[in-house]
């Protein structure tokens, strides 16, 4: 009987060696199983006003007390040491489940973990989003690869690896089926469909690896920045945005979804900045005031592709979207820009005004060449140049013929 149980253990969920915790439901049945390794890296301020960084893992005495399981959501809550806790929230939709967030609460008064900490904060909290998604119901999620999750304020990094988790366990028995994370799979064949990036696109279109864009035109969003001084709008922006990221031989395009995007930024006399965050994607636009004109000086993008691989690309010496200072820049046509070798940016129905905004509305627009009435001249100009070339060749041919004929006559 025991041997049988051990065999089941080996078969189900595989083996790992981190902290192993079980959570049970009200009836005492297993509902979440986890075997995970986490390296915490926490930086804090000491009484000498210095920044100190400590690295630690779960101690052996960590417990899963306070976990809870429901039909459609459940929480694995690991408590350890002097008042620290780490919880992972799962939700279920149809035949899939995913981890929505990690809430890490730590007690800076714990002098063994945080010697000489200045703060008295006993419940310092960071919330981050792991990339633990698309797990088939009644399967174990398995990921040996590391995933580094950085807190927004950079105070905490959590490195997860050797992760084995099953939430929504049925009948109190772990599953012997695995959902292996993308990072553990050998480089996927080009036909393997992968879902688009972003936390909300569960039913979104699928993109395949390759240069052909299959995404719909991104929706346009209005992104305004207000001054902290009196709350008036100091930067206006409105556009649909797509980015294309190259990693090795893989290329992936992602649309920015306006209704899940948070906007922030600031305006100063010579510089304005617009920051857009959606899911793991963060894009920073930096505009410069050149006294008479303005332009987009820098564009930085960080995030994760659908396979969970992190990217960070940017260029701080751009000269795009130039317009006079008292007006806005507009381009309704699709534009694409190569920001650096690995980042492309596509804009749709673009209009921006990063300086001199009056009464919260756009000033007159300087329109891009593609939108202008003159852009139709380009194919005409090419045609004219081509015909001219043909005529030139024809004339030189005729002259050549005549010359050679006169040549024969003179002999
Ligand atoms: C985790 O931290 C330990 C030391 O605390 C280190 O040896 C190990 O390499 C770290 N692992 C990862 C994946 O960062
Ligand atoms: C640390 O900084 C605070 C103000 O930020 C100051 O009052 C205090 O004297 C400083 N302490 C040391 C040890 O420098
Ligand atoms: C922290 O607590 C000590 C006493 O426990 C107190 O003297 C100090 O002012 C507190 N510091 C802060 C930042 O609240
Ligand atoms: C987290 O990782 C980033 C990037 O590797 C690093 O710059 C930062 O110092 C780290 N923060 C902590 C608290 O370890
Ligand atoms: C708000 O503050 C900005 C400077 O930060 C100033 O230029 C603007 O005139 C102010 N607007 C109002 C309505 O006070
Ligand atoms: C975002 O907008 C799309 C269509 O524009 C809609 O289908 C989706 O439900 C919206 N999502 C949220 C979270 O509002
Ligand atoms: C732009 O910069 C010039 C100085 O170079 C300054 O005089 C002007 O006020 C700035 N304009 C705005 C809108 O900040
Ligand atoms: C803005 O730039 C102008 C010249 O480019 C400079 O004289 C001025 O000091 C700058 N203003 C600020 C606030 O940096
Ligand atoms: C953008 O990235 C460049 C390097 O690529 C860096 O120097 C710059 O500080 C970044 N700017 C912002 C606003 O993150
Ligand atoms: C960018 O636009 C140019 C035309 O303006 C087009 O030839 C090129 O294929 C586009 N690049 C991408 C990646 O769509």
Q: Tokens 């306006």 sit at which residue? A: 258
Closest ligand 7 atom, residue 356 Cα: 13
The CA 286 to ligand 2 mean position distance, Å, reads 34
Atom of ligand 7 nearest to the CA of 325: 13
Residue 149 CB: number of other CB atoms within 10 A? 19
Examine the domain organization and report whether 33 and 178 are in the same domain. Answer: yes
* Cβ atoms 133, 139 nearer than 8 A: no
Q: Return d(Cα 355, Cα 350) in angstroms, integer.
A: 16
Averaged pLDDT for residues 6-30: 65
Same domain, 149 and 256: no
147 and 232: one domain?
no
pLDDT band at 379, cuts 50/70/90? low
Residues 174 and 226 in one domain: no
Q: Does residue 376 sit within a domain?
A: no
What's residue 8's pLDDT? 36
79, 103 Cβ separation under 8 angstroms? no
Return d(Cα 315, Cα 337) in angstroms, integer: 11
Q: Determine, yes or no, domain membership for 281.
A: yes
Eight-state DSSP code of residue 190: T
Residue 197 lies in a domain: no
Answer yes or no: do 304 and 171 share one domain. Answer: no
195 has pLDDT over 50: no
Helix or strand run (H / E) with residue 410: helix 377-410
User: Does residue 292 surpass a pLDDT of 90?
Assistant: yes
364 CB under 6 A from ligand 4? Answer: no
By the 8 A CB rule, do 258 and 269 touch? no
Average pLDDT, the chain: 84
For residues 131 and 247, state if they share a domain. no
Question: Do 263 and 335 fall within a single domain?
Answer: yes
Whether residues 28 and 177 fall in one domain? yes
pLDDT of 176 above 70: yes
Has residue 207 been placed in a domain?
no
Is the distance from the beta carbon of residue 270 to the nearest atom of ligand 7 less than 6 Å? Answer: yes
Domain of residue 18: give its range. 4-184
* Assigned domain for 263 exists: yes
Which atom of ligand 2 lies nearest, measured to the CA of 48? Answer: 13
| Cα atoms in the 13 Å half-sphere on the side-chain side of 46 | 11
Distance 80 CA to ligand 3 centre (A): 24
Among candidate residues 134, 168, 184, the one where a domain is terminated? 184
Which residue minimizes the CA distance to atom 10 of ligand 8?
Answer: 270
240 with 124, same domain: the answer is no
Q: Is 191 part of a structural domain of the chain?
A: no
- Which pLDDT tens digit goes with each residue over 93-120? 888 899 989 999 999 999 999 999 999 9
| Domain shared by 164 and 238, yes or no | no
| Position 389 confidence tier, pLDDT thresholds 50, 70, 90 | confident
Res. 220 pLDDT band, cuts 50 70 90: very high
Out of 137, 155, 184, a domain closes at: 184
CA distance 246 to 231: 39
Shortest CA distance to 361 belongs to which of 258, 234, 248?
234
Residue 382 lies in a domain: no
Render pLDDT for 129-175 as a digit per residue (tens, 0 to 9): 898 988 999 999 999 999 999 998 889 999 999 999 999 998 888 88
| Binding site membership of 292 for ligand 8 (Cβ less than 6 Å) | no
Domain edge (last residue) among 371, 389, 404? 371
129 and 77: one domain?
yes
- The Å distance, Cα 50 to ligand 2 centre, comes to 10
CB 254 within 8 A of CB 213: no
pTM of the prediction? Answer: 0.48
> What residue ranges line ligand 9, CB within 6 angstroms?
284, 286, 298, 300, 314, 316
- What pLDDT was estimated at residue 408? 52
**Maximum Cα–Cα distance for the chain, whole Å?**
116
Of all helices (H) and strands (E), which one includes residue 85? strand 84-93
Give the span between the Cα atoms of 91 and 129, in whole angstroms: 13
Tell me how far apart the alpha carbons of residues 3 and 10 are, in angstroms, rounded to a whole number: 11
* Higher-pLDDT residue of 307, 255: 255
Mean pLDDT of the 339-361 span: 95
Query: Contact, 52 vs 31, CB < 8 A?
Result: no
| Residue identifier of the C-alpha nearest atom 5 of ligand 6 | 219
Please give the tally of structural domains in the chain.
2
Which tokens hold the place of 195? 């879902």
Q: How far is the CA of 183 from the centre of ligand 6 (A)?
A: 29
Specify the CATH number for the domain of residue 161. Answer: 2.40.160.110
Ligand showing the shortest atom-to-Cα distance for residue 317: 9
Same structural domain, 171 and 226:
no
pLDDT at 16: 43
Q: Which ligand is nearest the CA of 49, by number?
A: 2
């Amino acid at each position: 009987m025991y041997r049988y149980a051990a065999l089941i253990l080996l078969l189900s969920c595989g083996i790992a060696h981190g902290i192993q915790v079980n959570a049970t439901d009200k009836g005492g049945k297993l509902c979440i199983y986890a075997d995970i390794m986490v390296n915490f890296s926490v930086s804090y301020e000491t009484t000498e006003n210095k920044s100190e960084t400590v690295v630690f893992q779960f101690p052996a005495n960590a417990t899963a007390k306070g976990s809870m399981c429901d039909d459609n959501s459940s929480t694995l809550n690991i408590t350890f040491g002097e008042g620290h806790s780490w919880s992972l929230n799962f939700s279920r939709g149809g035949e899939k489940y995913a981890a929505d967030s990690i809430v890490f609460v730590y007690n800076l008064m714990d002098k063994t973990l945080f010697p000489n900490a200045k703060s008295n904060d006993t419940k310092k909290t960071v919330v981050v989003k792991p990339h633990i998604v698309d797990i088939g119901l009644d399967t174990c999620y398995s990921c040996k690869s590391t995933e580094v999750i950085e807190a927004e304020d950079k105070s905490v990094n959590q490195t997860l690896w050797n992760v084995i988790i099953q939430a929504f366990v049925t009948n109190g028995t772990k599953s012997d089926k695995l959902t292996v994370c993308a990072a553990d799979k050998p480089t996927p064949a080009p036909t393997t469909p992968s879902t688009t990036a972003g936390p909300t696109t569960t039913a979104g279109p699928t993109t395949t690896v390759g240069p052909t864009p299959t995404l719909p035109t991104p929706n346009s969003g209005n992104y305004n920045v207000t001054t902290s001084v009196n709350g008036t709008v100091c930067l206006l922006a409105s556009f649909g945005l797509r980015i294309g990221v190259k990693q090795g031989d893989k290329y992936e395009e992602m649309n920015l979804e306006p209704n899940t995007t948070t906007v922030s930024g600031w305006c100063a006399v010579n510089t304005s900045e617009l920051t857009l965050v959606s899911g793991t994607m963060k894009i920073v636009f930096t505009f410069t005031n050149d006294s008479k004109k303005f332009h987009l000086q820098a564009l930085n993008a960080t995030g994760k592709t659908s396979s969970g691989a992190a990217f960070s690309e940017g260029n701080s010496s751009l000269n795009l979207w130039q317009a006079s200072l008292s007006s806005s820049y507009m381009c309704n046509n699709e534009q694409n820009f190569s920001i650096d070798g690995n980042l492309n940016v596509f804009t749709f129905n673009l209009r921006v005004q990063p300086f001199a905004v009056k009464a919260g509305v756009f000033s007159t627009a300087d329109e891009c060449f593609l939108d202008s009435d003159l852009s139709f001249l380009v194919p005409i100009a090419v045609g004219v140049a081509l015909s001219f070339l043909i005529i030139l060749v024809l004339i030189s041919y005729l002259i050549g013929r005549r010359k050679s004929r006169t040549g024969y006559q003179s002999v």
